Amino acid sequence: MDLHETSIVCKDLLKNELRNTRVLVTIAMFVILSLLSIYSSSIIQLLMAESETSANIGYITSYLALLLLGPVFVIALSYDSVSREIESGTIRLIIPKIKRSSFIIGKFIGLNILFSLIVGIVFMIIYLYVAINTQTYMPLYPVLSWFLLTLYFGCFIGLCLNISALADNSSTALVLSFTALIILMIFSTGFKYEFLKYFTPTWYGYIGFDSIFNPKADMLQIFKSIGGMLFFITASLGSLISVMNRRDF
């Protein structure tokens, strides 16, 4: 992998995506989601006694909403990142000029930066709302939430890129991505076998949430959450590089 080539791919992806209507709509939906979380948290606070939990309810509802709905947004933006290049034939013009590993890692980093910015916007809005309305300043909650959700989305970005690199067209990539998401969501519940949840990013995203907002939670859970999601990301990147090196474009 060449860092210069990787940075070129990353910058090119960000430049193109930020001018894409689909991306702008997704960003708008994230912002609307954060506003709805604020609204719902305001209602919940009226029903709760003054407590640390009630003060954090905006962060809690936003984290859970992004935990459940975020992967859908990831698929919406990532499913055709490679398959689109394959389908149009442009990948045959790109691959001879740069290393395949640089191409795919650049795509991954670019998408991760994009979603990191989106999640950052969401929690910045919520932080400002909480600070203005409650005079409570708790930067630890939005920072930890942003960090864990960035890792969480990174797991699904890696999954989508793997499927996108294997698929020959965008339609197939979309169907396979949503199929994989449904399977992972089912497995995260434990399904018939409890051990299956340990193989899903959703489970590690949830225990990260629990470690942040549950006062009685074991703080070691946050390290399990980070370690589990880093494992998924590392495995995805290794698989991506292997797939790209073996494919004949």
Distance separating alpha carbons of residues 226 and 215, to the nearest angstrom? 19
Q: What is the pLDDT of residues 129-141, one digit of tens each?
A: 767 766 666 777 7
The pLDDT value recorded for residue 50 is 47
Domain range annotation of the chain: 3-246
Q: What is the DSSP letter of 197?
A: G
Asked if pLDDT for residue 54 goes beyond 70, the answer is no
Distance separating alpha carbons of residues 133 and 129, to the nearest angstrom? 6
Asked if pLDDT for residue 26 goes beyond 80, the answer is no
**Mean pLDDT confidence for 59-64:** 76
Q: What is the pLDDT of residues 203-218, one digit of tens each?
A: 888 888 777 777 676 7
The pLDDT value recorded for residue 230 is 92
Distance separating alpha carbons of residues 27 and 21, to the nearest angstrom? 10
The pLDDT value recorded for residue 32 is 77
Place 51 in a pLDDT band, splitting at 50, 70 and 90. very low
